[in-house]
Amino acid sequence: MRIRTLTKMALLTAAALILGYLDSLIPLVPSVPGIKLGLSNLVLLYAVFYMRPHETVLLMLLKVGLSSLLFGNAVGGLYALAGGVLSVTGMLLLKRIPNVSPIPVSTAGGILHIVGQCAVGCVLISYGPVLFYAPWLFLCGTVTGILLGVCARATFYGIERYERRRGA
Amino acid sequence: MERTTGTRRKLNWLLTAAAILFAALLVVLCLLLRPKTGAPDRFVIHFADGETLEIPAWETKTIVIRDGRIVDSATGEGDENVIRIENGRAWMEQANCPHHECMRQGALTAETVRSRPLGTWIVCAPHKVYIEFAGGGQ
């Protein structure tokens, strides 16, 4: 891995961890556990659009591993890993469509993240609470996915404009 | 061939709509598959190893669970949850899980099961301890 890529990965991992921690401090619906804004997915979205697929997967694994080590536990890490693997796979596949914008990619990522978490929930708990819980998660995952996609589109537009100006 | 802005916009709208539709279908599926219960009359505590403990809803009891086993008193060590059952209500009184989300889920009562987001359940996912308000229909 080149030094430039390594530095970028380190910076993005740190950003994802900080955003993930901020996320845990903002309970969207206090009575429903696990409903978050998913701010750290902005970093993953950046990786999906501007880095290689294997670097994106590595970033997701680093984010999941370190955040469960620092702020969570092994069970929480399992949920995050399943959600992360499914959402990154889906986002990378959607990114292959030419000229796709971050909004559908982020929306699909948010929904697939919940699908992964619900699958782990069905295995670890039982389908009973998951069936009650999942509709809230899907609703939240879709809304936050769209919002993050809009934020990412604005951010990427700014980055591309900056790069163009720097290159000119 | 480069796509025009209009086609590109349409494609992105279609993809977003497809994702939303997929989520909506999953929500409908969850709502259809939800188990139908009779009038809830007992609390069932599910432990990490799959064992369960049934307690009639009218009993008054405090249950301390540490590392998946019932113990006499809370010490704050290990994976600990304190469940209180009183007059047809059950709630997670204390837990030393990372974010205490189970304590914020409120009480399970015959009145609240319809309005609670988690329905008939209180879930402590990190400690794998769950309380279910079960009815005669199950």
Given its phi and psi angles, is residue B69 left (phi above 0), alpha (psi -120 to 50 degrees) or beta? beta
| B29 lies in the same domain as B45 | no
Same structural domain for residues B64 and B111? yes
Please state the rounded mean pLDDT for residues A23-41.
Answer: 76
Any B CB within 8 A of A69 CB: no
ipTM: 0.84
A110: CATH: 1.10.1760.20
pLDDT, tens digit (0-9, with 9 covering 90-100), for A71-125: 877 888 898 999 999 999 999 999 999 889 999 999 999 999 999 999 998 888 7
**Interface contact B22, partner A, CB < 8 A:** yes
Q: Could you give the dihedral angle defined by the CA atoms of residues A56, A62, A64 and A68, in that order, rounded to the nearest 10 degrees?
A: -170
Residues B44 and B102 in one domain: yes
Same domain, B74 and B7: no
Whether residues B115 and B54 share a domain: the answer is: yes
Q: Which domain holds residue B24?
A: 1-34
| Number of domains making up chain A | 1
Tell me the pLDDT tens digit for each residue of B15-64: 999 999 999 999 999 888 887 766 778 999 998 888 889 999 888 999 99
Q: Nearest Cβ partner of A132 from B102, B104, B118?
A: B118
Residues B16 and B30 in one domain: yes
The model's pTM? 0.81
Give the pLDDT score at A168: 65
Q: What pLDDT does residue B14 have?
A: 94
Cβ within 8 Å, pair A97-B3: no
Angle at A132 between CA A104 and CA A71, to 5 degrees: 70
